[in-house]
Structure formats: structure tokens, C-alpha cells
Structure 1
């Protein structure tokens, strides 16, 4: 099923002033930047039967399991630790049980995370950065330790960029004209997601189910790092908006205050907020890229740039 199927479903909704559809209202709203297809997939996913009925049932069992595994890991820290088994089990579950809308958003997230870090590294003065870019195109690509590497990339990036700035006595600032070359304005090269008759589980339910698997199959250090990485949305957003000299986006960040970590029991919902925050920031950078290109073209043609019409995000 192509991801545009979600867009088609929302476009078919008829507006009834006496019974307005909440999904249609949010889909048509253009107050914040968001990739149109990703937004449609989010709305279809969060309004699914799975999220309405399955999530409330499975959530308490998953959180009890996290507590049980925490006790087990306290006694036997290395019991059944295997990142390979974790990633292959995630791949198997996504392929057979998770909805195409949720899978599409998961795949997008790794591309977006890579591009956000690349943008900051490419534009920060005095910084030379190398890290493992994550560009999965198929669900099977996720078996290459993609989930764990995503968390490692974030922490290693923050450590390295601040180490370099501190050694040079520099504050974070742009090196010159901003380079938006690493920001994709359009869709990522992602395969069509499986759409079998049992591919019905929504994104948040899937995350709730896999969080105990993280607790079991990762070391305690890896699990805590993965959960705490969700609180770094504010940090990454501050880096990007400082380079842009435009902090309007910060109001959209919900995962804040990384110095005071949140409970691992709420990791699933925080991961949803993390994914949405990354989408917002990437869409914000796409808007800035378009404005930059219009201004550059206007200078070439010696005319003032035109404003972007509302609601024109890809």
C-alpha cells in the first residue's frame, strides 16, 4: 500500500458542519509545518481501531512486563542480551502485524534523524563531524542495528559537537550562508509497506509491545540511554534554531528537560512525541530551504522574493 493511501482517505471525508470530523480539521490545518503524507499517516494511525481499543488493553500488561524485566535485569544484568535478536524480532513484528501507516512513519524517522544531524554538522562553525547515517529503504534494513545506532548517533553527536566547540572556545553559530543540501524536499526512497489482513497494529501499540523487548534484550545501560534519548528533542531543536536564528519551532517541542529523565514506563507515548517533533523540525527546515532558494533566485533575477502560500508543505 503506498503511503498516499492515507491522504486519499482523508480527502474523501465530507465536511458536515453539524458533525465536523476531527481528523479532517487537523489535516486541513496549516498552523504548523508538517509533511502532508506523513501528517495523513499520523492521523489515520491515531484514529485506528487498534489505537482506540487494543492500546488501552495492552498498555498496562506491557508496563507490568517492563517492571518484571527490570527486576530480572537487576539480578541477572546480562540475561538474554542480544541486539541482533531484538532487531530481527522488531523486523518480524513490523512486517507481519504493524499497519503500513505506522511502518511508513517508522521508516521516515531514521531518514529525518540523519538529516537533522547532518544539517547542524554542515552549518556549525568550527565543527567537523562524521557519523553513521541511517537510510533504511526496506523493513529488512532495520535488522542492521538501526534502532540502537539511532540512539548512539544522537548522544555521540552531542558529545562530539560540544567537545569541538569547547576546545576552540566557540559558541554554536553558523559558519556562513546556511547549506540546506542535506534536507530532502519531498519523499524518501522507502519501499511500499506490507498490507496483509493482519497488518493492523497502530504505531503506539507497537511501541508499547516492543518497549519490554528493549528492556529484556538490551543491557540496562542501553535501555536507559534509549529512553533518555527521547528527552533530547529540545537540545537538537535548540542547535538547529540557533543556526537559523529563528526559535519559533521550539514551541512545538514537548520532550524537554533532559537533565531530569522521565520514567521508562511512559517511553511509548514519549516516543510518539519524539517522532512528531522530528517531523515538525524537518518540515520547518524544508520551509527554510524553500525560502532560501527563492531568495537566491530573486537575487539572480534582481527582484524581491515571493512569500510561500500557506499549506504548501510537501
Structure 2
């Protein structure tokens, strides 16, 4: 009687245990901390501006804390409205004209150009668009002197048009408009409009422009902010202080603060009021702007 040998046991391969997951609390805390720091970095200068605009010259230069007894915002606003026969609010109106009408017309030009680049096929289309993208790489300060010489030849220096006309051109806006048209304009819709007998201008006005309205608002907001904060071009073009935008006017006042310290509260209070149109524009148009930023994210 033969005995059978017991079966040999094969060693099983040991599967390494999955690494323990780090608690999500740590990553969430890090993200929230970074967001909190970014928010503080953004809002602290605005908070300082809010408190500094309510101080008089002595408290502002001396660094005194703001208390109800030291609240001088009304007096600062009154001084701002009366200094120089109310020249500040003329600067404010100039900035609204430069930025409001300039951004509106620029957004329309950019959307028209982006629509044409997206919809139509013509010789040299991509090469021309490459030249437009090349214009994005050129800083505005490098173009200030050539534009000044051109405006001098045309007799436009020290006029409203010397600042307004250059603001109508924005190569980056053309690029954005083409991206929005590619994301918002199905070719079938345009073809259906042509089949129904609509001309090209009517197709663009009734269908194309309405469908890319988020892109229009996005380009408008970017250009409005750029023109409102524009400083170097008005500095080169303008010498008449009645044509100054608010940025150049506050710079002129700030240059006199060493000789006239009473201009410090005017500069700070004027800077606070200068932020209001930008905040109002983003708050009013943020719904369209958010929709515009997500263009093309889902196909």
C-alpha cells in the first residue's frame, strides 16, 4: 500500500495593500486657506481705500485710526466736487465716454471680425488671422509713440479722438470673438437662415449677434476695464486737463501732494469713486460674462 504524498502548497503572491488615503480634510483646508489668502490679497487694498477716503489730511498722513468722530467722507466729497470748479467730475465724465462708447464700439468691431473669420472663407484668411494674433504680442506702450506721430500728422493731438479712436482696436478681442463664434454658432442655423432668404447682414444681426452675445459682453468688459485704467496713451496724447480721464487727472493731483498736502484726501477719495463703474459693470453683466467664459468647454 503506497502512501500518497501530500499536495505541495504554492506560495500565493502577496498583493500589496492599497495606500491609505489621506484625509480629505487636509486638502480641503489647504484649498480654503489658499482661497482665503487670495481673497484677502484682493480685498485688503479696497478696504484700506474705504477707510482712508473718510480721513482728513492729518489723519491720513499721521496714520490715525478711523473713528466716528474722525469721519470726514462728506467733507472730502464736497472738496472733490469744488476743487478746480469740479474738474474731477469732468474727468469722470471723460472716462465714461472713453470707456463706455469705446468698449461698446470695440466689442462690436471685434464680434464682426470674429464672425467673418469663422463663417466666411476667403484667400489669405489664416495668414490675416495670424497677423491679428501677432498684434496681441505687441504691448500698448510700444505703440504710443507711433500713434502720437500719426495723430500729429492728422491734427488730432490733444483732442478727444486721439484717445478714443485707438481704443476701438483690440486684437485679443478679435481672437476671443472668433472662439465664441466657433462655440456658439452652429453652421446649420446660419444655413437655415440663408435658405429662408435672409441676407448676410440680416443673418448676422438677427441670429449671429444674438447667439454670441455672451462673447460680446465678455469683450466689452475686458475692453471697458482696459480703457478705464488706460494711463500712458492719454499721458502722451493730451495736454489739456479738461480732456483728461480720471486716471490721468488723479495722477496730476498726486504729483502736487508734496507741495499741497491737502490733495491727499482728494486723490484717495477720487480713487474710491473711480472703482465704482468697474464694480458696477461686472456685477450687472456677470451673468453673461460667466456664460461667456464657459464657451466651448462642453462640445
**TM-score, normalising length from structure 1?**
0.26
Structure 1 or 2: larger helix share? 2
Higher Cα Rg: structure 1 or 2?
A: 2
